[in-house]
Amino acid sequence: MNSEELNKEFEEAVNRVNNYESLFPADFLLRLYAYYKKATQNSEPPSSKRSIINAFKANALFQARGMTEDEAKEKYVKLVKEYFNY
């Protein structure tokens, strides 16, 4: 898959997640969070008002360390596809 196709699939997956109205499992959200941050090169630290949430987010980011932008996009898309079974 070329970069343009990957970017399109990534944006579609992000939109699908953002438009979904039910709650997602916490572990799923944490993986999405880490992949999204890596994919968009967002290096800002977690900014939740609750320190426990920041700790979980920081751990998710730590687990995604060393991942390239494209790898993160691919993992994000794959995770969304698996969740929605398509």
42-71 confidence digits (pLDDT tens)? 988 898 899 999 999 999 999 999 999 999
pLDDT value of position 47: 87
Per-residue confidence at 1, pLDDT binned at 50, 70, 90? Answer: confident
The mean per-residue pLDDT over the stretch 9-32 comes to 96
Q: What is the Cα 44 distance to its own chain's centre?
A: 15
The structure's pTM equals 0.91
pLDDT value of position 45: 86
Sign of CA pseudo-dihedral 36, 26, 56, 54? positive
CB neighbours of 58 closer than 8 A, spacing ≥ 6?
45, 46
